[in-house]
Amino acid sequence: MPITDLKVERRAGALGAILTGVDLAAPVDDDTYAAIKRAFLDHMVICVRDQAAMTPEDQLAFAAQWGEISIHPYVPSIDGYPGIMRIYDPNPVTVTWHADTTHSPRPPALTLLLARVLPPVGGDTMFANTALAYEGLSPGLRATVDSLKAVHQGTELASSAGLDRAAVTSVHPVVRTHPETGRRGLFVNGNYTSHFEGWTPEESRPLLEYLYGQIARPEYTYRHHWEVGDLIIWDNRCTQHAVVGDTNGAERTLHRVTIAGDLPY
């Protein structure tokens, strides 16, 4: 479709937009990709509607325009499509606020998640703007967290895959700078962050819990109600996400592709 058909509708004050008028099952020209990328950087989370016709090949081809496709260190891809992970919920990891695989030395830059099967009700995804969370701290606390690094460790799935703790442990700054926008945001999360470097877990816990609470403040969030064919793209460098676990066991299947990132700084 011509780029003039692309429409961007902002959905919340903090982040999030819906894009319509583009068919990602067809090749995406440079101008259309550039417009989508601008919306992504402006809104941090974008949903490209009506993409049910996308095949796994289409999703991988579009994802490759964003950068190098990342292979998860211990969760397998779906058969025949390296880089596409099948997400099936309910999953206890996804109902807490987190960014994806921050235990990696170079955590993913962004994630593309395509809704294939959805429950009759429930299963919304919440997104949070970690830059607003950082900017909302007092000057004194910002100065404190600016000076800290945190240890990130893989989940128990890493052990079941035969990886030792060192293989899925990284140290990152507590506040990272976005490499494209220059904006700074909190980069700690309850799924992967163990403790501050040089602190014990017990000493770290009160401040970490306070920071997690700031990230989850309602005014910093956007709640997305899924439709089949939604392709959501979120910026893993400046957002966190959590699933609302209210599906009552109904099937919720999505296909996820992540794009390799850089060293947080």
Per-residue model confidence as pLDDT tens digits over 24-83:
999 999 999 999 999 999 999 999 999 999 999 999 999 999 999 998 877 899 999 999
| Model confidence at 3: pLDDT above 70 | no
| Model confidence at 181: pLDDT above 70 | yes
**pLDDT (tens digit per residue) in 150-173:** 999 997 666 666 677 788 899 999
Count of CB atoms within 10 A of residue 11's CB?
17
- In the predicted model, what is the mean pLDDT of residues 215-228? 98
How far, in Å, CA of 91 to CA of 95, rounded?
A: 7
State if pTM tops 0.75.
yes
* Domain housing 229: 1-265
- In the predicted model, what is the mean pLDDT of residues 127-132? 98
> Burial of 150 by CB count in 10 Å (0-12 exposed, 13-18 middle, 19+ buried)?
buried
- Alpha-carbon torsion, ordered 46, 226, 115, 12, to 10 deg: 10
How far, in Å, CA of 259 to CA of 257, rounded?
A: 7
- In the predicted model, what is the mean pLDDT of residues 201-218? 98
Q: How many domains is the chain partitioned into structurally?
A: 1
Give the domain CATH number at 166: 3.60.130.10
**What is residue 92's predicted lDDT score, i.e. its pLDDT?**
44
Strand partners, 98: 241
Instruction: Using a pLDDT cut of 90, give the percent of the chain over it.
Output: 84
- In the predicted model, what is the mean pLDDT of residues 114-136? 96
| Active site members | 98, 100, 241, 256
Residue tagged 């014990």 (tokens): 200
How far, in Å, CA of 252 to CA of 265, rounded?
A: 35
- 3 state DSSP class of 232: strand
